[in-house]
């Protein structure tokens, strides 16, 4: 969000491609299914319950009933596993014409036409000699073909986002391979290594992980030194430099937690990360999630940078959800963005404004089909300046099946130097046939012109075919935007998704 950077670097133009994906998410997930965060293995509710095997009618023979029973009892059990494969193909076409500065200088116009492929495979509840449903396997990968860039190193690329196997031993688990550690001090960490944990029936849990950081492939190239370094800018013979060793990029951490279904959960975590064997980040965190009653949920996380002994981030929230038309949320955030940068990065020498933000949101359901909402936040910066952001919205559904959804939102952001107004309108229509259409229009009006431009406009539209009885879905869409940096930017998008699932060896689509 804009407050997470220096107040002098406020984001004035929202990336249009991200807005298009947000629009597409209104009718279908654009992120691969296996990338959705799941509870850690071994925790209650983290494993799907396998579907029962279909019953089979006995074959009529001349044998006695006792003989048939004996034959049935002697039949070995079948390993009941679950397998799910998903494929998502994105075909995009970008066209961007930049605005020139006062001197008539600017980047060249761009035309891009990449094709992305996301593939995931998940196999769960495989029996092992020591127990049933003991082994899970997961694989996620992506590939990219750039149809416009003919350079050898960029035309075809791809990588594994995860490739892991998990073995369960009662309430304990061990995971090997490329995996994620999420939440607490780890935040969002991808690594190649091992993790293990144990969760007792009393609610006490212990988890630990360690391995090598997953790095972009260019990090290991001889010509990659350091962004912004003098050696990098004066490099004349890349082959003369030694190849970087990826073993110098490693990390480790762990978490101790306690949870109770009727109360909530609390955890203490630690994370340390090294780059070229030098300290990159060392954090300790505490996270809390409480549900004292059915109508109140409260939680938060606080992270301490152990190298500087300063608070990197502290956030908390309280949700009030009673039975009735009102609901409310109160939240607070304190952040030091400088501590999120790696200590080995040249960018870490720059100081970003520490800030504290306090605010909330209030919603009122006027009737079943109409929802009113308003929010407001005030932010204090470390240089004694402050800012505000407020918004209001109305959301309404129409039709007997609520198949038409409309929403109008107004927002205002203001700081000491820069501010802007935003108006957003959204329409979504679910046809009787398996078609869903959406349209969005965004308008940003700046208090002060940016490069002589007072406003930005963004519009998008999507149409998706999603028949529940079919394993595939198709979406097409496009957007157009104008901003202080682009005279016109357009994108066309087509997405094809196919899901295939097998349970106990029988296809289920």
Q: What is the pLDDT of residues 5-31, one digit of tens each?
A: 333 333 333 333 333 343 333 333 333
By the 10 Å C-beta count (0-12 exposed, 13-18 middle, 19+ buried), 143 is classed as middle
pLDDT for 396 beyond 80: yes
Kindly report which listed range (34-38, 104-108, 251-255, 456-460) carries the lowest average pLDDT score. 34-38
Q: Does residue 341 fall inside a structural domain?
A: yes
Q: What is the rounded distance in angstroms from the CA atom of residue 20 to the CA atom of residue 406?
A: 17
Classify the phi-psi angles of 504: left when phi > 0, otherwise alpha if psi is within -120 to 50, otherwise beta. left
pLDDT at 41: 38
CA distance 50 to 47: 9
Judge residue 17's burial from the number of C-beta atoms within 10 Å of its C-beta, 0-12 exposed, 13-18 middle, 19 or more buried: middle
Cα(109)–Cα(17) distance, integer angstroms: 17
What does pLDDT average to over the chain?
Answer: 79
Strands (E), 150-295: 156-169, 172-182, 188-199, 204-213, 250-260, 264-275, 278-293
55 domain-assigned: no
Contact 438, 26 (CB under 8 A): yes
Q: How many domains does the chain have?
A: 1
- The answer on pLDDT for 428 being more than 60 is yes
Give mean pLDDT, residues 401-415: 93
90 Cα distance to chain centroid: 18
Q: Note the pLDDT of residue 43.
A: 38
Tell me which of 401 and 250 has the higher pLDDT.
250
In a domain, 419, yes or no: yes
The residue among 32, 38, 191 whose CA lies nearest residue 119 is: 32
212 within domain boundaries = yes
Q: What is the pLDDT of residue 29?
A: 33
Look at residue 77 in the predicted model and tell me its pLDDT. 60
Predicted confidence at residue 6, as pLDDT, reads 36
The range of the structural domain enclosing residue 18 comes to: 2-47+78-232+245-508
Tell me which residue has tokens 């590939």. Answer: 143
Mean pLDDT, rounded, for 268-292: 93
Cβ(206)–Cβ(195) under 8 Å?
A: no
Looking at residue 79, its pLDDT comes to: 67
Residue 58 placed within a domain: no
For 41-54, write each residue's pLDDT tens digit. 333 333 333 333 33
Residue 243 in this model has a pLDDT that exceeds 70: no
Q: What is the CATH number of the domain that holds 267?
A: 2.40.160
**Residue 62 falls within a domain, yes or no?**
no
Residue 63 predicted with pLDDT over 80:
no
In a domain, 384, yes or no: yes
Residue 274's pLDDT band (boundaries 50, 70, 90)? very high
- Prediction pTM value: 0.74
Residue 222 lies in a domain: yes
pLDDT at 16: 36
Q: What whole-number distance in Å separates Cα of residue 52 and Cα of residue 503? A: 9
What is the rounded distance in angstroms from the CA atom of residue 359 to the CA atom of residue 237?
54
Indicate whether 423 pLDDT > 70.
Answer: yes
pLDDT attached to residue 378: 97
Q: Report pLDDT digits (tens) over 94-151.
A: 888 877 766 666 777 778 888 999 999 999 999 999 999 999 999 999 998 888 766 5
Q: How confident is the model at residue 261 (pLDDT cuts 50, 70, 90)?
A: confident
Whether 38 has a pLDDT exceeding 80, the answer reads no
Distance CA 258, CA 242 (A): 47
Q: Is the pLDDT of residue 69 over 60?
A: no
E strand intervals along 108-171? 110-112, 114-128, 131-146, 156-169
In the predicted model, what is the mean pLDDT of residues 185-198? Answer: 94
Instruction: Give the separation between CA 197 and CA 254, rounded to whole angstroms.
Output: 9
């Amino acid at each position: 969000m804009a407050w997470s950077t220096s107040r002098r670097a406020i984001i004035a133009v929202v990336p249009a491609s991200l807005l298009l994906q947000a629009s597409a998410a209104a009718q279908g997930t654009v992120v691969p299914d296996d990338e959705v965060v799941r509870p850690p293995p071994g925790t209650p509710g983290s494993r799907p319950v396998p579907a029962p095997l279909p019953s089979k009618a006995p074959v009529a023979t001349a044998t006695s009933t006792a003989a048939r029973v004996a034959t049935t009892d002697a039949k070995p059990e079948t390993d009941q596993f679950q397998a799910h494969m998903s494929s998502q193909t994105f075909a995009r076409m970008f066209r961007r014409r930049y605005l020139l500065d006062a001197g008539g200088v600017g980047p060249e116009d761009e035309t891009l036409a990449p094709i992305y492929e996301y593939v995931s495979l998940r196999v769960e509840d495989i029996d092992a000699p020591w127990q049933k449903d003991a082994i899970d396997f997961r694989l996620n990968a992506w590939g990219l073909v750039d149809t416009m860039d003919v350079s050898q190193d960029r035309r075809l690329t791809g990588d594994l986002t995860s490739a892991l196997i998990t073995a369960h031993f009662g309430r304990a688990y061990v995971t090997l391979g490329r995996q994620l550690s999420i939440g607490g001090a780890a935040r969002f960490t991808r690594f190649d290594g091992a993790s293990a944990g144990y969760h007792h029936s009393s609610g006490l849990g212990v988890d630990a992980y360690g391995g090598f950081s997953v790095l972009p492939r260019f990090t290991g190239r001889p010509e990659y030194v350091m962004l912004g370094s003098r050696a990098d800018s004066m490099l004349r013979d890349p082959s003369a430099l030694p190849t970087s060793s990826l073993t110098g990029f490693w990390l480790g951490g762990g978490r101790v937690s306690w949870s109770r279904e009727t109360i909530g959960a609390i955890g203490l975590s630690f994370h340390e990360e090294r780059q070229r064997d030098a300290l990159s980040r060392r954090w300790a965190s505490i996270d809390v999630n409480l549900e004292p009653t059915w109508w109140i949920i409260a939680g938060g996380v606080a992270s301490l940078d152990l190298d500087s002994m300063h608070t990197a981030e502290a956030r908390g929230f309280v949700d009030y959800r009673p039975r009735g038309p009102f609901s409310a949320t109160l939240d607070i955030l304190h952040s030091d963005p400088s501590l999120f940068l790696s200590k080995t990065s040249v960018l870490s020498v720059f100081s970003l404004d520490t800030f504290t933000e306090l605010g909330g949101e209030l919603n009122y359901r006027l009737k079943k089909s109409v929802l009113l909402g308003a929010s407001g936040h005030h932010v204090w910066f470390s240089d004694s300046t402050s800012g505000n952001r407020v918004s209001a919205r109305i959301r309404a559904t129409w039709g007997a099946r609520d198949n038409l959804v409309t929403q109008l939102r107004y927002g205002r952001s203001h700081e000491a130097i820069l501010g802007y107004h935003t108006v957003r309108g959204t329409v979504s229509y679910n046809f009787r046939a398996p078609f869903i259409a959406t349209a969005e229009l965004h308008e940003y009006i700046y208090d002060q012109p940016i490069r002589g431009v007072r406003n930005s406009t963004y519009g998008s539209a999507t149409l998706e075919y999603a028949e529940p009885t079919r394993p595939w879905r198709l979406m097409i869409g496009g957007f157009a935007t104008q901003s202080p940096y682009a005279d016109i930017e357009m994108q066309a998008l087509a997405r094809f998704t196919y899901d295939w699932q097998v349970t106990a060896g029988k296809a289920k689509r």
